[in-house]
Amino acid sequence: MKKNNIFIKLTPIFIIWSLFIMSVPSIYADASIEITPEEPLPGSTITFHVELTQENALNANIWIQECNGNTGLCYQDQTVTMTETSDDVYEATVNLQHDDATYFQYTIEVEKADGWQNYFEETKVNLAETTNTDSNEDDTASDTPGFELGVLFISVIFISLILYRRKR
pLDDT at 23: 47
Stronger pLDDT, 131 or 118, i.e. the higher one: 118
SS (H, E, C) the chain: CHHHHHHHHHHHHHHHHHHHHHHCCCCCCEEEEEEECCCCCCCCEEEEEEEEECCCCCEEEEEEEEEECCCCEECCCEEEECEEEECCEEEEEEECCCCCCCEEEEEEEEEECCEEEEEEEEEEEECCCCCCCCCCCCCHHHCCCCHHHHHHHHHHHHHHHHHHHHHC
Say yes or no to pLDDT of 106 above 70.
yes
pLDDT at 160: 85
Tally of CB atoms within 10 A around 66: 24
pLDDT digits (tens, 9 = 90+) for 46-105: 999 988 876 678 888 999 999 998 898 899 889 999 998 888 888 999 999 988 899 999
pLDDT at 163: 84
Rounded Cα gap, residues 56 and 96, in angstroms: 30
* Environment class of 33 (CB within 10 Å of its CB; exposed 0-12, middle 13-18, buried 19+): middle
pTM value is 0.58
Domain architecture of the chain: domains with CATH: 29-126 (2.60.40.10)
